[in-house]
């Protein structure tokens, strides 16, 4: 027995076919408009999951690039401060040479002292520089704490910490965002970097000691040596050097009363002038001294000399200051080289991240981007299919027995 197919069934099938064709056509049109193949996860669950992972990689990479911009800005600002510090120290050296000339008189040296005071104030201000985020550049992790304070007694205090922030600029790469103020301005070896010299407080002669030189740094022990002018059993002037721990290292070295060169344990010092019997000089391992104090100490020596004319005291202070200035300049140049290395590393990582980003974006394009040629061909077929469905529906609608009566 044959079954009957109702008109309603034909209508329903025709409408569903038109709606399906319209949906397919609409999807293809939206794909072409967006250029994306995967509009919804159900289109390609595996591809959608892969695209999600790739987008996360892109966001992470863009975050690294933002971190690099932050690190470069901080380090470029630090380099600017270091260049200013170097220029300032070179000016101080020029002034110290002027002050040491025999033609300079008291008023001239007092004027030089005032200029050095101004330079020290300038150094203090740039050491307390803030970055674009209004954080102090040299406070370590304590960005809201002013790193340096002037105690108004010739000494200075560092208020920051020793923590250097490490910023991630790559999946396996971190870089410091700068140096602490202690590293830059306080951890500066005085003297010649290995040892320092100083006259005894009770000296009565005209002996002046230089900053010395190093012939074998490994042979110089961690000990304080006292160089003493004395007379031997025959009444001849001699020099003795005794270490607080090491003991006697130079015994009865003849002294001609005018100058002497003394060598021991890998170091050498020179004394000029008529040192008196009983005068002493110390040779001790170098210690760290902040640059502010170095300038302040020399300023005081200049002012004292301008007032009392004590050539011997000023000669010893000048020799020590010259060595301290050289150490400070060398130290700043070394710090600047580390800043340059960080900037170079940041530039290199920028290129690496950019290359990686291109690779990720290419992979993402392979996963989700549309083949425009294929989609255009499919759009044409779907348009024809929709038109055919619509025409078929119209013809079915017009089928009626009344047309045959």
Residue 200 domain-assigned (yes or no): yes
Domain count, the chain: 2
- What range defines the domain where residue 201 resides? 196-286
Contacts of 108 (CB under 8 A, 6+ apart): 98, 99
Give the residue-averaged pLDDT of 101-108: 76
Give the residue-averaged pLDDT of 253-273: 95
Contacts of 380 (CB under 8 A, 6+ apart): none
Both 122 and 270 in one domain: the answer is no
Six-digit token string for 254: 């003849």
- Return the H-helix or E-strand segment holding 250: strand 247-254
Both 211 and 182 in one domain: the answer is no
Residue 189: strand pairing partners: 288
The conformation of residue 288, written as its DSSP 8-state character, comes to B
d(CA 99, CA 104): 6
303 contacts 257 by C-beta, under 8 angstroms: no
Both 280 and 166 in one domain: the answer is no
Both 137 and 207 in one domain: the answer is no
81 contacts 126 by C-beta, under 8 angstroms: yes
Both 243 and 170 in one domain: the answer is no
- Percentage above 70 pLDDT, the chain: 77
What is the tens place of the pLDDT at every residue in 352-362?
999 888 888 77
The conformation of residue 276, written as its DSSP 8-state character, comes to P
d(CA 313, CA 202): 11
Both 250 and 129 in one domain: the answer is no
What is the model's pTM?
A: 0.80
What CATH number has the domain bearing residue 151? Answer: 1.20.1330.10
Q: How many residues does the chain have?
A: 405
Sign of the dihedral defined by the CA atoms of residues 71, 88, 284, 220, in that order: positive
Residue 208 domain-assigned (yes or no): yes
Which of 28, 47, 60 is closest to 363 using CA atoms? 47
Residue 5 domain-assigned (yes or no): no
Both 244 and 129 in one domain: the answer is no
Residue 371 domain-assigned (yes or no): no
Lowest mean pLDDT among 73-77, 95-99, 284-288: 95-99
d(CA 76, CA 89): 20
Over 50: is that where the pLDDT of 4 sits?
yes
Residue 8 domain-assigned (yes or no): no
Domain boundary pick from 356, 380, 399: 356
Q: Does 271 or 30 have the greater pLDDT score?
A: 271
Give the three-class secondary structure for 205.
coil
What is the tens place of the pLDDT at every residue in 312-333?
999 999 999 999 999 999 999 9
What is the tens place of the pLDDT at every residue in 36-76?
666 566 666 766 677 677 778 888 989 999 999 999 999 99
Residue 89 domain-assigned (yes or no): yes
Residue 385 domain-assigned (yes or no): no
Sign of the dihedral defined by the CA atoms of residues 290, 292, 295, 301, in that order: negative
Residue 215 domain-assigned (yes or no): yes
């Amino acid at each position: 027995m044959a079954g009957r197919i109702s008109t309603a069934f034909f209508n329903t099938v025709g409408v569903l076919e038109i709606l399906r064709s319209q949906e397919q056509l609409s999807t293809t049109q939206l794909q072409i408009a967006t250029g994306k193949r995967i509009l919804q996860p159900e289109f390609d669950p595996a591809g959608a999951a892969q695209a999600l992972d790739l987008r996360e990689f892109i966001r992470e990479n863009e975050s690294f690039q933002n971190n690099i911009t932050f690190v470069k800005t901080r380090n470029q600002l630090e380099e600017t401060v270091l260049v200013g510090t170097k220029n300032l120290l070179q000016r101080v050296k020029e002034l110290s040479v002027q002050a040491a000339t025999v033609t300079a008189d008291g008023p001239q040296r007092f004027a030089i002292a005032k200029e050095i005071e101004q330079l020290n104030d300038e150094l203090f201000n740039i050491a307390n520089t803030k970055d674009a985020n209004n954080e102090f550049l040299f406070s370590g992790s304590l960005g809201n704490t002013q790193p340096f304070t002037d105690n108004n007694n010739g000494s200075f205090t560092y208020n920051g910490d020793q923590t250097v922030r490490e910023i991630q600029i790559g999946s396996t790469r971190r870089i410091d965002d700068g140096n602490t103020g202690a590293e830059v301005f306080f951890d500066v070896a005085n003297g010649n970097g290995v040892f320092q010299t100083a006259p005894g407080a009770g000296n009565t002669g005209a002996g002046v000691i230089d900053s010395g030189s190093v012939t074998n740094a490994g042979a110089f022990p961690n000990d304080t040596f006292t160089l003493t002018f004395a007379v031997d059993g025959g009444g001849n002037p001699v020099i003795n050097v005794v270490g607080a721990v090491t003991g006697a290292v130079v015994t009865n070295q003849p002294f001609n009363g005018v100058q002497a060169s003394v060598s021991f344990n890998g170091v050498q010092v020179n004394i000029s002038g008529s040192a008196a019997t009983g005068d002493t000089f110390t040779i001790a391992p170098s210690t760290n001294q902040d640059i502010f104090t170095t300038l302040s100490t020399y300023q005081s020596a200049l002012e004292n000399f301008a007032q009392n004319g004590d050539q011997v005291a000023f000669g010893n202070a000048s020799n020590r200051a010259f060595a301290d200035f050289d150490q400070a300049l060398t130290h700043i140049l070394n710090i600047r080289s580390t800043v340059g290395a960080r900037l170079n590393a940041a530039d290199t990582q920028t290129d690496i991240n950019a290359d990686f980003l291109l690779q990720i974006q290419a992979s993402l394009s392979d996963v989700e981007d549309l083949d425009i040629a294929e989609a255009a061909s499919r759009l044409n077929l779907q348009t024809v299919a929709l038109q055919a469905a619509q025409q078929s529906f119209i013809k079915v609608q017009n089928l009626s027995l009344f047309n045959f009566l």
